[in-house]
Structure formats: structure tokens, C-alpha cells
Structure 1
Amino acid sequence: MANTFFISDHHFGHRNIIDFESRPFADAEEMTEVMIARWNAVVGKDDAVFHLGDFSFLNMARTRDIVARLHGRKTLILGNHDRGRSRSWWLEAGFEQVSEYPIVYKDFFFLSHEPMYMNKHMPYVNVHGHIHGQKYEGKNYFNVCVEHWDYTPLTFEQIRDAVVASEEQD
């Protein structure tokens, strides 16, 4: 049975993100190889992966090579750093689907790059990226930036169980 995974903000090829976010890599090449290995350690060939933006700063050939090396059927929700390239560019790079807008998943989870405004009385959860090492408080937000999850995609069940656990603490 195929799983569904979520992750964001790899910033492939972005050397400065190592310093900006205190990433534990010597250079962008090491960062790329470690992040590909961690992705492929959990994602199978038939699994679905939602990448919630800011995927690559590299050219088409290098981005296409990385996408091809990553397991799974990949959907990209465009992040602020992805929007300089067209939706068709990302499709050509190897993503199966590309969305310029948030996606509603399982009628309850809003998938977006930037955190969305979520009233604390709303029953929904915003699965997002963009804010890297920061974290929004409250049960309505779930940050899937690579910095929080050891550069490894999370399954839907991991997110759902964490959300349920946080609600039980309230």
C-alpha cells in the first residue's frame, strides 16, 4: 500500500541557507546528497509526496536530476522562491502536479507554502512550510520544513497523530 508524505523547503543548491538556518552541512553538495538519501530512505517508488514549496535554486538540468533521483510521485505547491519559474517549468523538471494555490487534503488539512490565517476556533489544520526553524503555536498549524524533521519527509499518519496528540493536551 502506498503512503502519502509531506515536506518543504529543501532549497536545493542554496548555499546560504546552510548559514541562515544553521543546517549541519559543509556545503550545498553535501546538503543535496544527505537530503536525497533521507527522502529515499522513507519514500517508496509508488508513494505520493506533497512538497510544500521552495524546492530548488538550481537550473533545469540539475533540478530535473534531483527530482528524478527522489522516490515517489511528486506534487509541488509553489513556494515564494519557486514562483520565479512557471508552472510548466516545474512540470518539465519532473513534478507530476504543480499547484500555484493551497490544496485541501482529506477535507481537513490545508496544504500551503506560507502559513495561512487559521482562527483558533476553526477545526482545520494548516500543513505548511516557509518559516523554517520557527514554529507557530497552536493546534491549527503543522510545520513540515526540513529543519524540524531531520530533513526527512513525514507520513500523513505522523502528522495526523501529532495533531490528535496536541488536541488531547488541550
Structure 2
Amino acid sequence: MPATFFISDHHFGHKNIIDFENRPFTDTDEMTVTMIAKWNAAVGKEDKVFHLGDFSFLNKERTKKIVSQLNGYKILILGNHDRGRSRDWWLDAGFDEVSEYPLIYRNFFFLSHEPMYMNKQMPYVNVHGHIHGQKYEGRQYYNVSVEQLDYTPVSFEQIRDSVVVDEEQG
């Protein structure tokens, strides 16, 4: 049975992100090769991946080459660095679906690029990216930025199970 994964903020082709986020790569080529390998080690051909934004700083041809190497059915929720390009641009680059807005997954998980304000009384979880190495406290936020996940997509079950564990502990 196909699995569902989440990740964000690859910033393919963004040289300065290596220094900004202390990424363990010497250059963007090494970063690209490593991140593609880690994606494909976790994600199978039939799996689904929600990419929660800030995918690539490269032109369409180079972005398309990367997307075509990644396993799975790929859904992009546009991040702040993606929004300068149209939905059609990203579809042409190889994403199977593209959303300009947050999505609700399984009636409980809000998928967004930027963290959303979550009132403590709200029983939902916000799966997000954008804040890279930072992390919001509490069971209502799950940061899927690559820096949080060793550059490897995280499965829905891992997110669900960590929320349940947090809830039981807290």
C-alpha cells in the first residue's frame, strides 16, 4: 500500500542557504545529489509526497530535471519563494498537483508552508515548513523543513505517532 510523506524547504540551487542554515554541503551540486538520494531512499515510486514549499531557485529546465528524478506522486503547496512563479510553471516543472493555499489532510492536519496560528484549544495539527532549523513548541506544530528531518521525507505515520505520543505525555 502506498505511503504518504511530507517535507519542505529544499531550496534547490540556493547557494546561500548552505551558510544561512549551516547545511553540511560544500556546494549546491552536492546538496542536490544528497537530497535526491535521501528522498528516493524513503519514498517509493507509488508513494505520495506533499512538498510544503520553497522547492527550487533554479530555472524550469533544471527544476524539471530534479523533479523527474524524485520518486512518488508529488504535490506542491507553494512557499514564499515559489509564489513568484505560476501554478502552471510548477505543473510544467513536473509536479502532479500544485496548491496556492494550505490544504487539510485527513480532516485534522493543516498543511501549509508558513506556520499557521493555532489556538491551544484547537484540536488540529499544523504540518509546516518555512522556519528551517527553528521549532515551535507543542503538539500542534510539526516542522517538516529539511533541516529538521536530515533532508529525508517523513511519513504520515511518523507525524501521527509523534502527535499521539506528545498528547499522552503532555
Indicate the TM-score class for this superposition, using the shorter chain for normalisation. Answer: over 0.9
User: What residue number does 1:99 align with?
Assistant: 99
Aligned counterpart, 2:152: 152
Residue 126 of structure 1 is matched in structure 2 by 126
Aligned runs of 1:1-170 on 2, under 5 Å? 1-170=1-170
**How far did 1:51 drift?**
0.0
SS at match of 1:37: helix
Deviations 1:38-74 (A, max 9, x none): 0000100010000000000000100000000000000
Residues in 2 aligned to 1:55 and 1:21: alpha-carbon distance in whole angstroms:
15
CA root-mean-square deviation: 0.4
TM-score norm. by structure 2 comes to 0.99
TM-score of the two chains, using structure 1 as the length reference? 0.99
Q: Please identify runs of 4+ aligned residues in structure 1 that moved more than 2 A.
A: none
Structure 2 unpaired stretches of 5+: none
Matched residues in 2 for 1:156 and 1:108: separation?
12
Task: Flag structure 1 segments of 5+ consecutive residues without an equivalent.
Answer: none
Name the aligned partner's letter for residue 2 of structure 2. Answer: A
Shift of 1:8: 0.2
Shift of 1:123: 0.3
Cα distance in 1 for partners of 2:65, 2:74 equals 14
Q: Structure 1: how far apart are the matches of 2:165 and 2:30?
A: 35
Secondary structure at the counterpart of residue 131 of structure 1 = coil
Post-superposition offset of 1:121: 0.8
Provide Cα deviations, 1:69-108, integer angstroms capped at 9, x if missing partner: 0000000000000000000000000000000000000000
